[in-house]
Amino acid sequence: MVKQYKKETMKVSRRAFMKKSGLAASAIVVPLPGFAMNKQPKFKMGLQLFTIRDALAKDPLGTLKTVAALGYQDCETYGYDGDKDMYYGYKSADFKTILEDLQLTATSGHYGFSDYFEKSDEALKRFVDQCITGAKALNTRYITWPWLAPEYRSIENFKILAGKLNKIGEQVTKAGLGFAYHNHDFEFTDHHGEHGYSSILYDTDPELVKLQMDMYWVAHSSKRNPKQLIADHPGRFVMWHIKDMDKVTRDYTELGNGSIDYIQLLSTIDTDALEYYYLEQGGNFAQNSMQSITDSAAYFKKHLQKYL
C-alpha cells in the first residue's frame, strides 16, 4: 500500500501539493496522432529518464509533468539510492505516488551493479535486495544491469559477469520480479575471435536473465543486426531501447534525424517477446534534452508507433 506524503518530508499535504505543482492538470490524456479510437498501440510509449537527467536534477516534478504531457506513458528509472531508498530525491513510496498522479508507470530500472563487480557476494546480494525493495515500491517489473565499467571488459571478466548475472537473476526471480542485461557496443568488441556478448547470450540461464536490446548500440557495433539478433534468440529480448544515430558522427541524435531506418526495422521485426520499449537519447542534443524528447516523441507517434 502506498504511504501518503509525510508532513515531515513533503511539508505540504497531497492536496496542496497537487494544487501548487499543477500535477492534476498534467494527467490529461494527450491524443496519439494517427490513431483511431479503436486502434490503440499495443505497447505504452516509454522514455528512459537518463535522457533528461539534467532537467530531472533541476526540477523533477515539473520535468515529469512535461514528460506526461508529451504523451509518454511509461518510463525507465536510473540512479536509485539503495541506502536511502530514494529516486531523484524522493522516498520510493512518494515517487510512486507522483508517477501515479501523472498516470505514468515505471516498468524497468537501471541500477548500479557495475560498482559491485569486485565486491563480495554478500555485498552484491545486499545491493540486489535494496534494488528489489526500490523496484517493488514503484511496481517495477524489471531490474536491469545497464553498464560494465571499462576496466572489467575482458573476455575473462565477461565470463565472470555471466555467473553474476545468473546469481542476480535467481535472487530477483525469487522475489517475483524479472532481471535483464542492457547492452552497449563494447560487448561486441572482437577479442581474438571472441566477444563478450556470447557469454551473456550462452552462459546465462534464459529463464533467469532476459535481455534489453539497445538498438542503437547494436547497429553502432557494426557486428549485428537488431532484427536478426532477436530472431536468433526468441523469447530473450523483452525490452528495447530505441534511439537514432547521427549520419556523420554516429553519435546519438533525435529520432528521424539519423541513419537507422526504424520504419523498415520496426515494420518487420518480431515483437513476440517484447514487453516494453523506451525512447532514449544519451546526449548530443540539437538544442537541449527536453526539446529532444519532444521532437523524438512527435516523430515516433507519427511514423513508428503504429508498428508497436
Tell whether the model's pLDDT for residue 38 goes beyond 70: no
Rounded Cα distance, 272 and 255, in Å:
24
Rounded Cα distance, 269 and 266, in Å:
5
pLDDT value, residue 19: 42
pLDDT value, residue 303: 98
Tell whether the model's pLDDT for residue 298 goes beyond 50: yes
Give the length of the chain. 308
- C-alpha torsion sign, points 142, 202, 206, 177: negative
pTM of the predicted structure, to 2 decimals: 0.87
Tell whether the model's pLDDT for residue 13 goes beyond 80: no
Tell whether the model's pLDDT for residue 214 goes beyond 90: yes
pLDDT class of 40 with cuts at 50, 70, 90? confident
The domains of the chain are located at 39-307
Q: CA distances (Å), 197 to each of 90, 185, 188, 204, in order?
A: 35, 9, 6, 11
Query: Residue 36 corresponds to which cell in the numbers above?
Result: 483511431
Q: What is the pLDDT of residues 153-212, one digit of tens each?
A: 999 999 999 999 999 999 999 999 999 999 999 999 999 889 999 999 999 999 999 999
Domain 39-307 classified CATH 3.20.20.150?
yes
Rounded Cα distance, 97 and 173, in Å:
25
Tell whether the model's pLDDT for residue 23 goes beyond 80: no
Tell whether the model's pLDDT for residue 36 goes beyond 90: no
pLDDT value, residue 196: 96
pLDDT value, residue 164: 98
